[in-house]
């Protein structure tokens, strides 16, 4: 009983530290039949008998993956009966469901399993669902997230408790390693079942446990402990930063009518770590169901807010969310239906390259001597335009179309509306917002890429240097 007493003491200390339960709480215990979950049910039963009165409910899910699944369900039912604990069973044909779920077998199994556990907790009015994830699982989780490029929230690993659909999920074993749990079962003679699929390395977690961690242990025999320490430290610091982000939100962000607004100067005064947290927090408030924004999109918003130019832009953040900058005001909101893309960029002195993320294109500007330009040939296609660099009023602006835009086209007296040119050229309205306009310092439209160039700064016999503009598609990896 010495090992049982030691594990009971460890679990009770963790429960008190993280407030996992209180006397007379009802806990749904997820039991697969493996040594981890069998140990969890046995230890919680021991605690409820001798230390803290708890009402336990044993819950098991048959995923329908293996022939042994029915026998395992019977084993867990018998275990619950032996301990005098209510038993709840769910049975799913995950292989069939996964074909249409789009989540894959593992994702589908997780969704169905947690859905059943949460629904069972609600039926029993339970405080929480207890899960048997242990220290080895935590080390694997942290390593997997490290490989995936997660930030501090991810590297904190699994939490001692978290809420999913208004039900708490608790993990009392996060400081206990698997060896101790198997040792308890063997010492006390507790039977358990073994899942052969845990040895299949085509599952990522199995590959990390069976191949990657043993390899890393050759370089650091205590790599699991190092990963657990990283989890503990990062988790505490992550909670501290989240609290600061909430304070920052209250001070800097105006929330009204489904929009979140902040001012550029106030945002710039905040440390960069909090800037990223603040952006992520706003997006979570806007849509709790949206996918977590990646680092590149958060950085696009942060850098776009801090930069001096352009002062007007719109960034699609995915999940139906957008961020709009209007001079010194930054607004986060849900994306309006059929909203026209709006952006303004300044094209700096050549040579330069401007990425226009809103339309997935890039514009390059170079200056060539007349002789070099002549060698290339002047017929560079509709995606390029050339100007007399001395006659072109700088700086140039690249922007989206505005109502009433006109251009002075070569060979035409007076100006023509851009809208009429699009209609004449039969350019679909859905494509018009993806065509940028290039304007000179006086605001004249000098080029509509792929459509027209103006009469301004035409290349002639007296031209000494040529300014060449080219519009090209952004590579997929370059897009924010």
Residues contributing to the annotated binding site for ATP:
32-37
Beta-carbon contacts of 121 under 8 Å, excluding residues fewer than 6 positions away, are 28, 128, 129, 167
Query: In Å, what is the CA distance from 251 to each residue of 254, 255, 287?
Result: 9, 11, 21
**Residue 392, SS3 per DSSP:** coil
CA distances from 389 to 27, 400, 447 (A): 76, 23, 14
Cα within 13 Å of Cα(162), Cβ side: 10
Alpha-carbon gap, residue 102 to 82, rounded angstroms? 39
Structure tokens at 224: 């699991």
Cβ neighbours of residue 404 under 8 Å, at least 6 residues apart?
A: 417
Distance CA 80, CA 88 (A): 10
Q: Which residue has the tokens 């981890």?
A: 36
DSSP 300: H
In 3D, which of 125, 128, 118, 166 has the Cα closest to residue 21?
A: 128
Known binding residues:
32-37
Residue 429, SS3 per DSSP: helix
**Which structure tokens are listed for 386?**
């050339």
Q: How far apart are CA 239 and CA 155, in angstroms?
A: 12
d(CA 239, CA 250) in angstroms, rounded, equals: 17
Taking CA 473 as the corner, what is the angle to CA 321 and CA 358, rounded to the nearest 5 degrees? Answer: 20
């Amino acid at each position: 009983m010495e090992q049982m007493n030691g594990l009971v003491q460890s679990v009770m200390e963790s429960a008190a530290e993280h407030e996992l339960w209180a006397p007379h709480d009802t806990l749904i215990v997820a039991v697969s039949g493996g040594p981890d979950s069998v140990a969890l049910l046995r230890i919680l039963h021991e605690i409820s008998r001798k230390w803290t009165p708890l009402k336990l409910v044993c819950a098991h899910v048959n995923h329908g993956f293996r022939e042994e699944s029915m026998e395992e369900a019977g084993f867990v039912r018998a275990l619950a009966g032996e301990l005098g604990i209510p038993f709840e069973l769910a049975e799913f044909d995950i292989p069939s469901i996964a074909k249409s779920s789009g989540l894959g077998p593992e994702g589908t199994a997780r969704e169905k399993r947690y859905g059943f556990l949460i629904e069972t907790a609600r039926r029993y009015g339970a405080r929480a669902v207890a899960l048997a994830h242990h220290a080895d699982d935590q080390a694997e989780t942290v390593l997997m997230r490290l490989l995936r490029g997660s930030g501090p929230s991810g590297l904190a690993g699994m939490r001692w408790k978290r809420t999913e659909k208004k039900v708490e999920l608790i993990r009392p074993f996060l400081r206990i390693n698997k060896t101790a749990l198997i040792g308890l079962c063997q010492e006390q003679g507790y039977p358990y079942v073994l899942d052969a699929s845990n040895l299949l390395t085509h599952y990522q977690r199995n590959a990390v446990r069976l191949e990657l961690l043993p390899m890393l242990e050759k370089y650091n025999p205590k790599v699991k402990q190092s990963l657990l320490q990283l989890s503990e430290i990062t988790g505490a610091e992550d909670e501290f930063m989240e609290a600061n982000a909430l304070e920052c939100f209250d001070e800097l962000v105006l929330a009204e009518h489904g929009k979140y607004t902040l001012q550029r100067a106030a945002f710039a005064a905040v440390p960069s770590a909090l800037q990223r947290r603040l952006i992520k927090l706003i997006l979570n408030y806007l849509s709790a169901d949206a996918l977590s924004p990646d680092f590149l999109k958060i950085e696009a918003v942060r850098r776009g807010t801090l930069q001096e130019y352009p002062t007007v832009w719109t960034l699609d953040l995915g999940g139906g969310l957008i961020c709009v900058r209007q001079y010194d005001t930054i607004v986060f909101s849900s994306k309006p239906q059929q909203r026209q893309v709006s952006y303004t960029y300044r094209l700096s002195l050549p040579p330069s390259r401007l990425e226009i993320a809103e339309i997935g294109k890039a514009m390059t500007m170079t200056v060539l001597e007349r002789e070099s330009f002549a060698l290339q040939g002047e017929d560079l296609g509709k995606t390029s335009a050339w100007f007399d660099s001395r006659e072109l009023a700088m700086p140039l602006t690249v922007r989206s179309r505005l109502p009433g835009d006109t251009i002075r086209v070569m060979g035409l007296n007076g100006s023509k509306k851009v809208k009429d040119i699009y209609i004449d050229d039969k350019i679909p309205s859905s494509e018009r917002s993806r065509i940028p306009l290039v304007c000179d310092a006086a605001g004249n439209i000098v080029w509509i890429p792929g459509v027209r160039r103006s009469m301004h700064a035409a290349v002639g016999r007296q031209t000494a240097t040529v300014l060449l503009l080219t519009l090209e598609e952004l590579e997929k990896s370059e897009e924010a």
